[in-house]
Structure 1
Amino acid sequence: MTERDFAFLRDLLHRRSGLSLGTDKHYLVDSRLGMLCRRLGIEDIPALVERLRGEPHGELESAVVDAMTTNETLFFRDRTPFDLFRNVILPEKLAANAASRSLRIWCAAVSSGQEAYSLAMILHEHAQSLAGWRVDLLGTDISAEVLEKARQGLYTQFEVQRGLPIQMLLRHFRQEGDKWRVDEHIRGMVELRRHNLLDPNAHFGQFDVIFCRNVLIYFDVPTKARVMDALAQRLAPNGVFVLGAAETVIGISTSLVPDETHRGLYRDAGARAVSSAPAGGGFVGLPLPPRGA
């Protein structure tokens, strides 16, 4: 792979996904796109680049983005954000939204689904308190491949052992051979859609809670600021924003400010007085299942 080919791939990935690939990442490109070439029957990376130059904005570009995007995740990853959701965010929203009886949550980089299903399991724990509520839980990702895995809800023994409490495994999963599938009542609580964080998002409406964890670390500062500002526009009044443990808004965006009490929790700096109802084209909420389901 020539430096010219590498520069072309770096530009494509940044333009299409926001991924900021360092000049020292030749090995990563060689590894991931080498596997993609073998899978697609393309001779080598220079041949792949040649095809990309001749077929801009096609399925091959999407396959390259999918191959280069990091999709590492696990159930209840880092634990603290989920404790915050269970013990701080959810009680706060139950009180604040008592009149509308509506709760909208967006996992903005859902990967293969573990984060959204972890939140769904917590919501299931509170099914009695949420009886009669409209609860929308949206998960989006740029990768069609990982979204399909999320829709299937089928995970290996290794994947369910990483962060998932055994009681939740037994309550919300069923074993299929050497794998485990999330039960339909949990999968049915999550709406999954393909979405690029660099694309317009107004059609999703407003959200009470946005999780965007462990994805912005791969962006350069201008792209981080652009994405944070766009996501902040989707927060309902008094909405909350959750970042990953290694991420911050400080020095990047003024649209969000850290919560004074809870680390990792951010709030809309402007607190715009707008309706939290979905905009046109918003997805339909799904009822919570009975607690004993």
Structure 2
Amino acid sequence: MRVEDFDMFSTLLKQRSGLVLTRDKAYLLESRLMPVARKWNMKGLEELATTVRTRKDEALLRDITEAMTTNESSFFRDQKPFDQFRQLVLPKLMEARAAKRSLRIWSAACSSGQEAYSLSMILNDEAAKLAGWRIEIVGTDISAEMVERAKSGIYTQFEVQRGLPITMLVKHFKQNGDKWQISQQLRQMVSFREWNLLGDLSALGQFDIVFCRNVLIYFDQPTKAKVLESISRQMPQDGVLYLGGAETVLGITDKFKPVEGQRGLYSMGGFSAAGAKVA
């Protein structure tokens, strides 16, 4: 790939998705964009680059962006955040929201929906405690293809074997050939929509709990700060933000602070884990 073409594609991707690619990742760009070139009946990446420069085709730009977006996900990924959610965050916020009996949860960069559906399974288990509550789970992703997959709730044998306890599979999924579909009851608990984290988040409304895990690692420092500050505007003081194990707010923004004793959990200062233990 020509250096000027790599620079053009990497600039485009950073503008549209926040993704930062260094030149040592040229092989990744080539392997993921060649299928896009073929889809658009182009001979190769040079023709693809020329086309991007000479005409603004939103469908083509979308295909390029989606091809480079990492869509790695699994049910109950890393487990600890879900234990925190069940044993600490949910009880604390239910106590704090006892008067209005309402909770909104956001799974940002939700990929094909496993994180959001994992949360729905936990909430289903806690249904007796949540009787009379209005619970909303919203999953968003930049990829239209991933959003449609998430809405369908259909997963391969490999996908349901990654992190999903067999009891949950039997309880919540129906097998259809070599695929599994999550129950309609759980699909109705989650709404999915296409959304760019770099865009205006205000239309999504306020959220008590935000899962934005393993997303910031792909951004540079200014973009991380921008995204975190945008998220903070959509949360109350005692709202809870989840980041991935390799991510932090330290040195990036002062909008969030780590929740003491709870790795990966952040708040704007109004949430306390005092006295709580997570197994």
Which residue of structure 2 lines up, in the alignment, with residue 278 of structure 1?
none
Q: Does 1:185 align with 2:191?
A: no
Q: Does 1:48 align with 2:51?
A: no
Q: Deviations over 1:59-86 (max 9, x none)?
A: 1101100000000110000111111101
> Retained in 2: the 8 A contact 1:255–1:270?
no
> Retained in 2: the 8 A contact 1:254–1:269?
no
Output the amino acid matched with 1:66: E
Which residue of structure 1 lines up, in the alignment, with residue 86 of structure 2?
86
Secondary structure in 2 aligned to 1:140? strand
Shift, 1:57, TM fit: 5.7
Which residue of structure 1 lines up, in the alignment, with residue 254 of structure 2?
254
Shift, 1:52, TM fit: 1.3
> Retained in 1: the 8 A contact 2:136–2:190?
yes
Which residue of structure 2 lines up, in the alignment, with residue 16 of structure 1?
16
Flag the 1:79–1:227 CA change in 2: closer, same or farther, 3 A: same
Identify which of structures 1 and 2 has the higher relative contact order when contacts are C-alpha pairs closer than 8 Å and 6+ apart: 1
Structure 1: 4+ residue segments shifted above 6 A: none
**Structure 2 unaligned regions, length at least 5:** 272-279
Shift, 1:188, TM fit: 0.7
Which residue of structure 2 lines up, in the alignment, with residue 285 of structure 1?
none
Secondary structure in 2 aligned to 1:262? coil
Secondary structure in 2 aligned to 1:155? strand
Shift, 1:40, TM fit: 3.0
Q: Hey, what's the Cα distance between the residues in 2 that align with 1:61 and 1:168?
A: 39
**Structure 1 unaligned regions, length at least 5:** 272-293
> Retained in 1: the 8 A contact 2:237–2:267?
no
> Retained in 2: the 8 A contact 1:111–1:150?
yes
> Retained in 1: the 8 A contact 2:210–2:240?
yes
Which residue of structure 2 lines up, in the alignment, with residue 239 of structure 1?
239
> Retained in 2: the 8 A contact 1:212–1:241?
yes
Q: Hey, what's the Cα distance between the residues in 1 that align with 2:51 and 2:195?
A: 25
> Retained in 1: the 8 A contact 2:238–2:269?
no
Q: Hey, what's the Cα distance between the residues in 1 that align with 2:80 and 2:270?
A: 26
Q: Hey, what's the Cα distance between the residues in 2 that align with 1:175 and 1:166?
A: 13
- The number of aligned residues is 271
Q: Hey, what's the Cα distance between the residues in 2 that align with 1:39 and 1:96?
A: 52
Which residue of structure 2 lines up, in the alignment, with residue 229 of structure 1?
229
Q: Does 1:172 align with 2:183?
A: no
Q: Hey, what's the Cα distance between the residues in 2 that align with 1:78 and 1:129?
A: 25
Which residue of structure 2 lines up, in the alignment, with residue 115 of structure 1?
115
Flag the 1:230–1:269 CA change in 2: closer, same or farther, 3 A: farther
Which residue of structure 2 lines up, in the alignment, with residue 151 of structure 1?
151
1:190-205 aligned within 5 A: 190-205=190-205
Normalising by structure 2, we get a TM-score of: 0.95
Q: Deviations over 1:97-134 (max 9, x none)?
A: 01000000001110000000000000101111111111
Shift, 1:270, TM fit: 8.0
Q: Hey, what's the Cα distance between the residues in 1 that align with 2:39 and 2:88?
A: 46
Secondary structure in 2 aligned to 1:238? coil
Shift, 1:200, TM fit: 0.6
Flag the 1:92–1:269 CA change in 2: closer, same or farther, 3 A: closer
Normalising by structure 1, we get a TM-score of: 0.90
Secondary structure in 1 aligned to 2:236? strand
Shift, 1:149, TM fit: 0.7
Q: Hey, what's the Cα distance between the residues in 1 that align with 2:97 and 2:6?
A: 50
> Retained in 2: the 8 A contact 1:74–1:159?
yes
Shift, 1:229, TM fit: 0.8
What's the Cα RMSD here?
Answer: 1.2
Shift, 1:150, TM fit: 0.5
Q: Hey, what's the Cα distance between the residues in 2 that align with 1:18 and 1:251?
A: 19
Q: Hey, what's the Cα distance between the residues in 1 that align with 2:256 and 2:262?
A: 14
Shift, 1:269, TM fit: 4.4
